Amino acid sequence: MKDSVFEIQLKVRDYECDIQGVVNNAVYQSYLEHARHEYLLSKSQSFKELTAQGILLMVARIEMDFKRPLSSTDVFAVQLRTERQGVKLVFFQEIIRISDQALCLKAKVDVIAKVGDKLSRGEVFDALDI
């Protein structure tokens, strides 16, 4: 992703693969979420601490386009960039296999926020600088 603002590298673990020997489709969401949480930490924000403060960041919608499979021991990067769209913070994420730079997955994740018991109009994302 040419305009990514954050990247984390991970390695596929054997138990994440299905009987076909590739990463199970549901596992990719965990990779994406882990990258978003690490991104928050890189911006001096903790998902756990935000939750304790009554700021709930929630996935409203996720789209994933599977391009190529990952398999056991593959090392890969999860890259992301963000964009404010009204009340949402949109994460554009890609998973790239390191060995051949193959694009394995593209995702678009819409995140909304509740502050206290009210849906935020998105200003919380600006205040948190994320």
110 is catalytic: no
Instruction: Please state, as a whole number, how many other Cβ atoms lie within 10 Å of the Cβ of residue 26.
Output: 9
Question: Quick one: which of 6, 9, 12, 2 has its CA closest to 69?
Answer: 12
Please identify which of the residues 18, 65, 74, 100 carries the catalytic annotation.
18
User: How do beta strands 102-115 and 6-11 pair?
Assistant: unpaired
CA 105, CA 89: separation in Å to the nearest integer?
Answer: 20
Question: Quick one: which of 23, 100, 99, 98 has its CA closest to 64?
Answer: 23
Residues contacting 8, CB < 8 A, separation 6+: 34, 35, 38, 39, 77, 78
Give the catalytic positions in this structure: 18
